[in-house]
Chains A and B, each alone.
Chain A
Amino acid sequence: MAHSLDVSGSCPDHLLLDRRRLLQGGLASLALWSFMPGAANAQGRDPRLLVVVLRGGLDGLSLAAPVGDPAYAALRGPIALSRSGANAGLPLDDLFVLSPAMGFLHALYLKREALIVHAAASPYRGRSHFDGQDVLESGLAGVGRADSGWLNRALLAIPRAGAADTRGLGIGAIVPLVMRGSAPVLSWLPRTVDRPLRAATVERLADLYAASDPALARAFAEGMALERMSEGGEPAGRARASGARPHKAFIETSEAAARFLSAADGPRIGALSYEGWDTHANEGAATGQLANRLAGLDLALSTFATGMGAAWAETVVVVVTEFGRTARVNGTNGTDHGTATAALVLGGRVKGGRVVADWPGLGERQLFEGRDLAPTLDLRAVLKGILADHLGLTAMALRDAVFPASGDALPMRDLIA
């Protein structure tokens, strides 16, 4: 006998398909941890940190373009930005302009709440997305089988004023490596069906897992904690009507991140990832594919900053990617996998208004392996500086637990006010 499984009426088909695909299809995901809800840390502050991972290899030379480098325009050809004209960027300093798609970021830069790190790279020197992301997220010195991410290990090392609650929260069906680890991670997904779970079943299932499967028991307990947390309404469950369609996933996740991180008793640390930076073809310059993506990122950052409200003053956002792209435009008006790239640090606690770079130059002999922007800054030094000065991690914890074998990458101590 066949019985139809009918849940219609909960959500129109097309809406569900579109929105859910964007949210869980991997275009974007969000993870957050809470610790010390409603309490200040040892320094009397209540700092927030959001880490944004851009997957696919962001072209740093198009995000912050070194138009003052004599080799830049020729290398980049049709995708080059310039100081003036049709592909004019937004002025940063004598060397760099910012992609014109990032108006919000530029305004923050002028307010000295945003800085750009350039010619930076993780220790990874290959050109595989997947190994590159593993090194970036694991915090290890090289490729290897990693079970935990640096942000998760950092969470365990944060000095706390009192009893800490290290429950976390995330969005997405697959937990990204940067947040995996022994500090528990919750995750959040919109409900598949608009109906409450029945307490009696929940209790019995928890007992069954407890008796037979510890990993499922833990995941289920976290899922149920999350269910209780969101009883008052699903953050980010409703798509905003405004906003271009490709940007919707970015906006939804950043809205959710802000709602959780700004709440008085909410989580304080989150990680977010956005897909779609692998611009092998038709990358564009002031307009085009990459500019569209950057506009989405800019909108996500402004949505997040606005949503944080007064807590923005206690916030740091760091935006990183696994590697940069070739210095030369390729045969299809795009760029292939490269090495060093740019990263962003923004927020109310950032000493912004500057580009932090030891610029290697783009001359033929200056390029890494004759093709990529050469790395002159270890991204781990930037991350260690933020974790030290924003969250109070000790140098020892950073060197031994969070970023093992990173002794050469000394924390940059002038990023946080």
Chain B
Amino acid sequence: MTNDAPAIATRRFGLGARPGDVGRIRADPRGYVASQIGDREIARLENADLAPSHTTIVEVIGARQRVRAARRDVPAPTAATPQPPGAATALSPAAQAAPTIPAEPMPGATDGAPAMSPADRPGRLIQAAMIAEAEARIRRAVATEAPFVERLVMFWSNHFAAAARKGNVRAIAGAYEREAIRPHVFGRFADMLLAVARHPAMLIYLDNQGSIGPNSRAGTRRGRGLNENLARELLELHTLGVDGGYTQADVAALARLLTGWTFGGPERPAGEAGRFWFAANRHEPGPHRLLGREYRQGATGGEQALADLAGHPSTARHVATKLAAHFVASPPPPTLVARLERRFRETDGDLAALSLDLVSAPEAWAAPAKKMLPPYDFLVSLSRGLAIEVPPRQIMRFSVALGQPMWDPPSPKGWPDDDDAWMAPAALRERLRIAEVAAARIPPGSDPRAAARDLLGAALSPATAEAVARAESARQGYELLILSPDLQRR
């Protein structure tokens, strides 16, 4: 399929054109994308409905404790009383900070004790937080003048995936993105990595909150010990990559370095509750040897280890490969990967510089549009392009139905990035059904031929132009346009 610079600017590096966009940027499509890079404020997302994760997680854990207490007909735990049996954390004040994760909390579940008001039930609190976050993100995506920034947020959020399906992550999955990802999309990779590894969402998702050094004070007292889940995925997925040159011994060493990295529970003082907290009495005594280097015990040892991982040559290659595969093609052009890798190393992981190199690369403007839009991007671009308002809740629902629930990929590896990953036949069929619903809402008198030229410019393929022009009705013309290869791939 042919491609064209304004279409690449709005699609490969955006979330689809809004009416008039392609015409507006035609003079300088590359400049349009590049101009979005660098302003850290533009990436932030805040409004009155969005609570910080430390507030939400404390409310949810508190509500769960009240449910458990009410079920046992005993007073709710406070800072002065130990957690109920079964919480498996009552070994020390430090360990109390690590709430036990229930196996399968589901949104809207009737998990409240009769005495609780419905709004205070943990399931409701979680769902309310999730919906507020999702709506804010969708509204931003549909309305933004800087869609490349949102694409970068989505990319990094997926690189450091913390899936909503695990325990209380659902309550703070959106806040995690706002707190650990957004502030750093034009900052340094090392800073984003540290913010991610310290965030309660990641600590819960990859089980580090309960990991205890076997020879720490807490470990010797209770015989509990390491959990290597976070350490392994930090090496395999977040930094070096699976072939990045680490061993099982390195996984265990990093796990030991990260023992005690947890967050404060509701019983902790205000500055600590729900926030990252280094529980020294769970930390494995060192020194620890990781990738041939020795690290001292303590919180700074783990921080130094993460900083060194961020600066490792394998991390540069891993990140460069993923970035190019996501935005350009999978497998990515080797020349582009090499350039991004070099830039990452030269700039010590400066993500603004890396983003600028990506959008300046000739390969990125030459590769044919082969990547099928993921469901969320398809729905957002539909809403942007057709000037019909799709309510955010509907985008949430359809994202789920098309196989991509927000912030909830099936594994720590995140959503797939293969060009054809989202081509399952029934999902394509359902895209058509959604297109029919959308096209039926377009105001009478609208012209799909004009919309096709407006949204795609010179990238509009002759086959699509002809199919739209020959449609038996304007509505059918819109349906064909929405499902055309021109708008399904980027």
Majority SS at the chain B contact face: loop
Say which one of A93-101, A194-202, A307-315, A358-366 lies at the interface with B.
A194-202
Task: Please indicate the chain B residues that have their CB under 8 angstroms from the CB of A334 in the complex.
Answer: 207, 227
Please determine whether B425 and A220 come into contact, CB atoms closer than 8 angstroms: yes
Please determine whether A186 and B394 come into contact, CB atoms closer than 8 angstroms: no
**In chain B between 365 and 381, which residues have their CB closer than 8 angstroms to a CB of chain A?**
375
Fill in one digit per residue for B378-400: 1 if any A CB lies within 8 Å of its CB, else 0.
00000000011111011011101
Residue B190 lies at the interface, judged by CB distance under 8 Å to chain A: no
In the assembled complex, the Cα of A207 lies from the Cα of B436 at a distance in Å of 17
Residue B27 lies at the interface, judged by CB distance under 8 Å to chain A: no
In the assembled complex, the Cα of A127 lies from the Cα of B231 at a distance in Å of 12
In the assembled complex, the Cα of A5 lies from the Cα of B212 at a distance in Å of 51
In the assembled complex, the Cα of A200 lies from the Cα of B471 at a distance in Å of 9
Please determine whether A213 and B1 come into contact, CB atoms closer than 8 angstroms: yes
In the assembled complex, the Cα of A243 lies from the Cα of B210 at a distance in Å of 31
Residue A71 lies at the interface, judged by CB distance under 8 Å to chain B: no
Residue A337 lies at the interface, judged by CB distance under 8 Å to chain B: yes
State which of A131, A205, A225, A337 has its C-beta within 8 Å of the C-beta of B432. A205
Task: Please indicate the chain A residues that have their CB under 8 angstroms from the CB of B397 in the complex.
Answer: 13, 16-17, 20
Known: A24-B403, A216-B485. A331 touches B212 (CB 8 A): yes
On chain B, the number of residues with a Cβ less than 8 Å from chain A's Cβ atoms is 89
Please determine whether A200 and B472 come into contact, CB atoms closer than 8 angstroms: yes
Residue A211 lies at the interface, judged by CB distance under 8 Å to chain B: yes
Residue B118 lies at the interface, judged by CB distance under 8 Å to chain A: no
Known: A200-B472, A211-B463, A332-B224. A4 touches B389 (CB 8 A): yes
Q: Which residue of A lies closest to B229 (CB)?
A: A280
Q: How large is the interface on A (under 10, 10 to 19, 20 to 34, 35 or more residues)?
A: 35 or more
Residue B332 lies at the interface, judged by CB distance under 8 Å to chain A: no
Fill in one digit per residue for A52-65: 1 if any B CB lies within 8 Å of its CB, else 0.
00011000000000
Please determine whether A292 and B104 come into contact, CB atoms closer than 8 angstroms: yes
Task: Please indicate the chain B residues that have their CB under 8 angstroms from the CB of A7 in the complex.
Answer: 394, 437
Residue A239 lies at the interface, judged by CB distance under 8 Å to chain B: no
Residue B416 lies at the interface, judged by CB distance under 8 Å to chain A: yes
State which of B206, B396, B400, B483 has its C-beta within 8 Å of the C-beta of A25. B400
State which of A5, A128, A174 has its C-beta within 8 Å of the C-beta of B403. A174
Please determine whether B464 and A20 come into contact, CB atoms closer than 8 angstroms: no
Please determine whether A127 and B248 come into contact, CB atoms closer than 8 angstroms: yes
Known: A204-B480, A334-B207, A336-B229. A227 touches B428 (CB 8 A): no
Known: A24-B400, A174-B403. A201 touches B480 (CB 8 A): yes
Known: A55-B411, A173-B404, A202-B432. A18 touches B106 (CB 8 A): yes
Task: Please indicate the chain A residues that have their CB under 8 angstroms from the CB of B227 in the complex.
Answer: 280-281, 330-332, 334, 336
Please determine whether B428 and A223 come into contact, CB atoms closer than 8 angstroms: yes
Residue B352 lies at the interface, judged by CB distance under 8 Å to chain A: no
* Minimum Cβ distance to chain A for residue B14 (Å): 21
In the assembled complex, the Cα of A305 lies from the Cα of B414 at a distance in Å of 33
Q: Which residue of B lies closest to A331 (CB)?
A: B225
Known: A16-B401, A205-B480. A197 touches B436 (CB 8 A): yes
Please determine whether B424 and A174 come into contact, CB atoms closer than 8 angstroms: yes
**In chain A between 259 and 316, which residues have their CB closer than 8 angstroms to a CB of chain B?**
275, 278, 280-282, 288-289, 292
Residue A209 lies at the interface, judged by CB distance under 8 Å to chain B: yes
Residue B36 lies at the interface, judged by CB distance under 8 Å to chain A: no
Fill in one digit per residue for A201-230: 1 if any B CB lies within 8 Å of its CB, else 0.
110110111011101100111111111000
Residue A413 lies at the interface, judged by CB distance under 8 Å to chain B: no
* Minimum Cβ distance to chain A for residue B29 (Å): 23
Please determine whether A174 and B388 come into contact, CB atoms closer than 8 angstroms: no
Task: Please indicate the chain A residues that have their CB under 8 angstroms from the CB of B437 in the complex.
Answer: 5, 7, 193, 195
Residue A246 lies at the interface, judged by CB distance under 8 Å to chain B: yes
Scoring A143, A332, A334 by chain B CB atoms within 10 A of each residue's CB, the highest score goes to A332
**In chain B between 185 and 229, which residues have their CB closer than 8 angstroms to a CB of chain A?**
206-207, 210-212, 214, 219, 224-229
Q: Which A positions have Cβ atoms within 8 angstroms of B?
A: 1-7, 13-14, 16-18, 20-21, 24-27, 55-56, 126-131, 143, 145, 170-175, 185-193, 195, 197-198, 200-202, 204-205, 207-209, 211-213, 215-216, 219-227, 245-246, 275, 278, 280-282, 288-289, 292, 330-334, 336-337, 369
User: Other CB < 8 Å A-B pairs besides A3-B442, A216-B485, 18 of them?
Assistant: A17-B108, A20-B401, A24-B400, A127-B232, A172-B403, A172-B424, A187-B427, A189-B403, A197-B432, A198-B436, A200-B476, A204-B480, A207-B467, A209-B485, A213-B1, A278-B229, A331-B219, A332-B224
The 9 closest A-B pairs by CB, nearest first: A173-B403, A331-B225, A26-B410, A223-B429, A223-B425, A222-B425, A2-B389, A246-B104, A189-B426
- Can you give 27 contacting A-B residue pairs, CB < 8 Å? A5-B389, A5-B437, A6-B441, A17-B108, A17-B396, A20-B401, A126-B242, A128-B236, A174-B416, A174-B424, A189-B427, A192-B430, A200-B476, A201-B432, A201-B436, A204-B471, A205-B467, A208-B463, A212-B1, A216-B423, A216-B488, A220-B429, A224-B429, A226-B425, A275-B411, A280-B227, A333-B88
